[in-house]
Amino acid sequence: MFSPEILLPGPTPIPSSVQQAMMTPMSDHRGSHFAPVVSRVRDALANLFQVGPGGAVAVIPASGTGALEAAIQNFFAAGQRVLSISTGAFGDRFAKIAQNHGLSVDKVEVPWGQAFSPLDVVERVAKGLYAGVLVTQNETSTGVLNPVQSLASLLNNLPNSRRPLFIVDSISGVPSVSMEMVDWGVDVVLSASQKGFMCPPGLALVAATERARIHLKTEGAYGYYFDLNPYFEGQLPYTPAVSLWYGLDAALQLLQEEGVQARYARHHTLAKMAREFANAGGWHPIVDEDHASPTVTAIELPPSYDPGDLRKKIARQGLQIAGGMGAWHHHAIRIGHVGAVLPSMLFGGLGTIAHFVPHPDRALSAAWAAWHAYTIIEEV
């Protein structure tokens, strides 16, 4: 059988150079073959996240949730108070992890489909004494891009003694949306290999600035395997996921060739295509344009549709898209346009989905709207 086309918010398509790099034969992971890969990847990641002098990026073997858990374990102790801002399923998950580790969690729940308000958050922070603020940059369950930079600048205005550690889940954000840790004042950013990084699942990334590293718990304060100290110091404490490292190295090379600004622009174009398609087809992109995620678009379907049934029909055409999460399961689909997705690929996928818009006479307008969104942006 042909492998499916995928427009998912992870895992994402793997470019052939990445696929090939992952077939590199094994060698001693502490030997001379692998060493240059490790240093290239570390340098490229530090540069990408802009961790600044004294900052570092830990690459640990886990899916993204492992990065969330590692951050909680390494930067906080049980009993410490954190403010957790949830704008959807992944924000809920971050709060739950903090609770399970015995932190005292004040949770702010923003209605699904909306972004958090930086002013509201900083007001809450000013009222309590928090060791940390946990947020999601790109909420994959709803397709919302949250204003992380604005919140960072407000938090930075707080006196140092009251300034919490600012921790951002950007698992479906970086490197598809901008992140300038030192300039913005973000202390810790979490990501993972299987979304914008165009690799298979299996590597979790924890980027920390020097300020964050000062808050790192000392070795032995908790657990063992997810102790980030050796990773930040540049060691590979346990057998690394060697093949995934080769893949990440090749993927970062592709990112450099494309250029980060060009990549952000590409995802902006893709999001615009998906939204215009949905609007013209008689469906409804749930999130306002101002807060729309560049990497995933949630589309509300009329009650006459069963999203599961629709996804099955689309899958029979060889295309996999995602369903709604949580309460959105019954009325929404999500189209992922993250990682190695080019406008032509999205256009092809939307062309398939166009068969299923509410009125047959709208199929052509929907496809045309997607194409138009693409060409308009190209001309700018």
Ligand X SMILES: *Cc1c(COP(=O)(O)O)cnc(C)c1O
65 contributes a contact to ligand X by CB under 6 A: yes
**Closer residue to ligand X in complex, CB, 51/192:** 192
Give SS3 for 104: strand
Tell me the C-alpha distance between 143 and 114, whole Å: 9
- Region near ligand X per CB under 6 A, out of 166-174, 218-226, 235-243, 359-367: 166-174
How near is the Cβ of 334 to ligand X at its closest, in Å? 11
Residues 206-235 contacting ligand X, CB under 6 A? none
> Do 337 and 7 contact (CB within 8 A), yes or no?
yes
How near is the Cβ of 70 to ligand X at its closest, in Å? 12
> Do 81 and 106 contact (CB within 8 A), yes or no?
yes
281 contributes a contact to ligand X by CB under 6 A: no
Q: Which two tokens stand for residue 352?
A: 């398939």
- DSSP 8-state code for residue 331: T
**Closer residue to ligand X in complex, CB, 167/370:** 167
**Phi/psi-derived region of residue 50, left when phi > 0, alpha when psi is between -120 and 50, beta in every other case:** left
How near is the Cβ of 245 to ligand X at its closest, in Å? 17
Tell me the C-alpha distance between 244 and 240, whole Å: 9
Strands 132-136 and 104-109: unpaired
How near is the Cβ of 83 to ligand X at its closest, in Å? 18
Tokens 């990773």 correspond to what residue? 231
Residues 81-140 contacting ligand X, CB under 6 A? 90, 136, 140
Tell me the C-alpha distance between 92 and 139, whole Å: 10
Residues 183-202 contacting ligand X, CB under 6 A? 192, 201
Instruction: Among 5, 69, 92, 169, indicate the residue that binds ligand X (CB under 6 A).
Output: 169
Instruction: Among 63, 149, 243, 317, indicate the residue that binds ligand X (CB under 6 A).
Output: 63
293 contributes a contact to ligand X by CB under 6 A: no
What does the binding site for ligand X look like in residue numbers (CB under 6 A)?
Answer: 10, 63-65, 90, 136, 140, 169, 171-172, 192, 201
